[in-house]
Amino acid sequence: QQEDALQPGVSGLPVEEVDKLYASEKHVVFQTEVSRLMNLIINSLYKTREIFLRELISNASDALDKIRFMSLTDSNALASNGHFNISIVADKPSKTLVITDSGVGMTAEQLRANLGTIAKSGTSEFLSHLESEKNKGEQMNLIGQFGVGFYSAFLVADKVTVASKSNDDPDQHVWISEAVDDFVIAKDPRGNTLGRGTQITLHLKDDALEYLEEENLKALTKKYSEFINFPIYLWSTNFKWVENKSDAAEISEEANVKDDTEAAEKEPKREKVEVKEWELLNTQNPIWTRDPKEVTENEYMDFYKTLDKEPEAKPIIWSHFKGEGDVDFKAIIYVPERAPRNYYHQLQDIPHRIKLFVRRVFITDELGADFIPRWLSFISAVVDADDLPLNVSRETLQKHKLLNLISKRIVKKALDLFAHMAKTDEEKYAKFIREFSMSLKLGAIESSQYRKKITQLLRYPSSLEKEGSRVSLDAYVSRMKSGQNSIFYSTGTSVEEIEQSPFLERLLARGYEVLYMTEPIDEMLIQALPGYNGKAFANIAKGDLKFGDEDESEGETLKKLNEQYQPLTDWLKNTLDEHVEKVAVSKRLTTSPMAIVASAFGWTGHTERLMQAQAANPGAKDDFMFQMMMKQKKNLEINPDHPVIQTLLSRIEDGEIDEETKEVVTVLYETTAIRSGYTLKDVNNFTKRVESIVRKRLDVDLNKQADYKVEMAKDKTPEEIKEDEEKASSFADDASEEDDLDDTRAAHDEL
């Protein structure tokens, strides 16, 4: 039926007509971004230029989706053309490839706006990124991810004609461009040939004539467009056997006179003739409506490519399921192998990954964060709902309560899928966590409803894990020491940094496990999580650390040590008054002499650095809270078993403290701050102190300055400048004898 609607071998506007219009009509200049993009496309590496067909078919399919959606509420929309199809015709004599759709079409104004400008935000920055020399190798890939769509036509064509007829424009118009600078728009001299829709004619480059071969077109459509929901037809050459008419007449006459059996043996003569006809290239049996048992892994992988714009993207896992009960729907959800490009920068703005259909009719891919919470926006999905009304606007649909129910089911299903992956495939799960643990943590912060479930999915490096592997909170709790009430953790920018931290010393020596939290979001997460399975989280760089196995005697010992070290702690408090609030004997240290500990509500070194980075915005550093927290004094803990600390105590007791000791202790404090994760506020004085200690150690006079001589920069005399120029030009001549004079002069000027 659909096929009947197609006229035989539809052709584009004849080349001579195109040339005539292009020569006579007014040229409109492209928006700068379009010119830049086209320039890149034309000059890019041709490795994946075949994608143009996918892009154009996908645009045709979008246009068909749009008119079908409109027809749900406007019964007149299809009067101009009642069919939904895409057709491809390759015409060798004119070296053109014509792709026609009966979609929504474009008015003259839409042709100008859609094919002459790019509205995407951030385009200019993206293009600069692409244009930079160092990204040359990656260009095509990046262009693909950006979604050049229509403009990819110029990968294979040096001229493109777009004829389009919209219901909103009485006339059919053509848009013609030879890329780079400008285009023309004119009334189509053929009149309204399309009824409604768009016809793109690619005037192929001489090195792209392979795209006129039917076999290639069939293979490409199969490869890239198999899952398009509208029929795609190719004007194809087939061979048919037909009866040779004159032979057949002779045979039947003979049959009258001779006996029947002999006549039957004498076959009518048949010949093979070439026929041109429309051949349907795809099946349009949506994969999600099929029985999952009958869909192959490759089909799932191929279908994923229609949902994800990145050409190399693959799913790590998927789930094809049916929702039944209060709402009936079918869905496939995919988890990508890698986070989408710029994913974590654009969390607010990740649309288009969920496609909603209602009884196979595409409705929208712009459901946004109301449908899928932003922390889960990395999944892609198709959802086909049976019970949603078709004839409602997208806005009303978004608030529909059935959509809400579907959304909940999808979130739950996704969490189940992650949990299943964790249980059945450790390696895959580790990969998943590497990519998406930040998203999960965001989910645990933002969603009180799923917090428990998401927290179970988290994995952390820890002091007991081998390099690279991670532990779940359940596993941590299950191997906690009896009596241990806290989940010990430390924060830092990397595992290596945390491993160097003095806070770990005694905990590890005593056999406790410590989680290493290295993502900035961990700090926020811990604030949102009161604990896990009844165990509180304890930051080992903060406050009064309790191991859980303390008895009275231990408290006694600490009290005695504090008394014994009081002369030193008092002296330190005095000497370092500018920086420290409190000095006490530590329970955390074994090998380091001292450590700086944040108060229970203060910032650890790691938090302080994070906050400083966040406060990079103008004005943020003047924020009262920020100022107050940055100025907050620290607690200093000393190790009573350390020889430096013991020596300091005896010096104080013997009254042997001098300026030099003060200087050394200040430097010791400063290096302790660095090891404890804090940044030094006065690096200048710190380096001066270190130099002074070095001088004393080497017996170099403290006041002796470096003896240096510097000559003032001299202006060159005109003679010297001339001499330089002569030298430079003879060098340029030698270097490029074959270059023409202009080049030499340019090189000369540059030198």
Ligand X SMILES: Nc1ncnc2c1ncn2[C@@H]1O[C@H](COP(=O)(O)OP(=O)(O)OP(=O)(O)O)[C@@H](O)[C@H]1O
Smallest separation, CB 80 to ligand X (Å):
14
**Residue 235 and residue 212: Cα distance in Å, rounded?**
11
Sign of the dihedral defined by the CA atoms of residues 114, 117, 123, 126, in that order: positive
Question: Is 629 labeled as ligand-binding?
Answer: no
DSSP state of 307: H
Q: How far is the CB of 10 from ligand X (least distance, A)?
A: 14
Q: Which residues pair with 331 in a beta bridge?
A: 321, 383
Q: Smallest distance from the beta carbon of 290 to ligand X, in angstroms?
A: 26
Cβ at position 65, least distance to ligand X in Å: 10
Q: Which amino acid is at 391?
A: N
* Angle ∠(542,551,588) on CA atoms, nearest 5: 30
Q: How far is the CB of 114 from ligand X (least distance, A)?
A: 3
Copy the structure tokens of residue 487.
Answer: 């989940």
| Helix, strand, coil percentages, rounded to 5, for the chain | 45, 20, 35
Q: Which CB atom, from 111 or from 598, has the smaller least distance to ligand X?
A: 111
* Residue least distant from ligand X (Cβ): 149
Judged by beta carbon, residue 62 or residue 425, the one nearer ligand X is: 62
State the virtual CA torsion across 324, 328, 330, 331 in degrees, nearest 10.
-90
Q: Are 64 and 103 in contact (CB under 8 A)?
A: yes
Residue 360, phi-psi category: left (phi > 0), alpha (psi -120 to 50), beta (remainder): left
* Closest to ligand X by CB, 59 or 225: 59
DSSP 598: B
Which residues would be at the binding site for ligand X (CB under 6 A)?
A: 59-60, 63, 101, 103-106, 114-115, 147, 149-151, 198
Residue 198 annotated as lining a ligand binding site = yes
CA 201 and chain centroid, separation: 33
146 is in an annotated binding site: yes
* Smallest gap from residue 164 Cβ to ligand X (A): 7
Q: Is 731 annotated as a binding residue?
A: no
| Count of CB atoms situated within 10 Å of the CB of 727 | 11
Q: CB of 667 within 8 A of CB of 686?
A: yes
> Is 149 among the annotated ligand-binding positions?
yes
Per DSSP, the chain holds a count of helices (H) and strands (E) of 28, 21
SS3 654: coil
SS3 100: strand
| Cα angle value 379/232/116 (rounded, 5°) | 70
Cα separation of 148 and 126, whole Å? 12
Q: How far is CA 468 from CA 424, 487, 493, 511, 598, in A?
A: 19, 20, 15, 20, 29
Distance CA 428, CA 434 (A): 10
DSSP H/E element including 675: helix 659-675
Encoded tokens for 178? 């030879």
Is 101 marked as binding a ligand? yes
CB of 182 to ligand X, least distance (A): 17
In the complex with ligand X, the residue whose CB is nearer, 198 or 490, is 198
Report, in Å, the least distance between residue 109 CB and ligand X: 12
Kindly tell me which of 120 and 187 has the beta carbon lying closer to ligand X: 120
**Is 717 a known ligand-binding residue?**
no
Considering beta carbons, is residue 50 or 101 the nearer one to ligand X? 101
Q: Which is nearer to ligand X, 199 or 539 (CB)?
A: 199
- 122 among annotated binding-site residues: yes
174 is in an annotated binding site: no
Which H/E stretch holds residue 175?
strand 173-177
159 or 675: whose CB is closer to ligand X? 159
DSSP 352: S
C-beta of 105 vs 593, nearer to ligand X: 105
In angstroms, the CA 357 to CA 388 distance is 9
Distance separating alpha carbons of residues 618 and 147, to the nearest angstrom: 34
**Residue the block writes with tokens 């592997």:** 469
Among 154, 263, 169, CA closest to 203: 154
Q: What's 339's DSSP letter?
A: P
Structure token pair of residue 20 = 């005539």
Q: How far is the CB of 59 from ligand X (least distance, A)?
A: 3
CB closer to ligand X, 42 vs 295? 42
**Do 361 and 69 form a contact (C-beta atoms < 8 A)?**
yes
Nearer to ligand X, 87 or 462 (CB): 87
Shortest Cβ distance from residue 101 to ligand X (Å)? 5
State in angstroms the smallest separation of the CB of 200 from ligand X: 7
Please check if 114 is assigned to a binding site. yes
Nearer to ligand X, 114 or 282 (CB): 114
**Please, what is the Cα angle at 596 between 594 and 597, to 5 degrees?**
125
59 annotated to bind ligand = yes
- Annotated binding site for ATP: which residue ranges? 55, 59, 101, 106, 114, 120-122, 145-150, 198, 394
Q: Which residues are annotated as a binding site?
A: 55, 59, 101, 106, 114, 120-122, 145-150, 198, 394
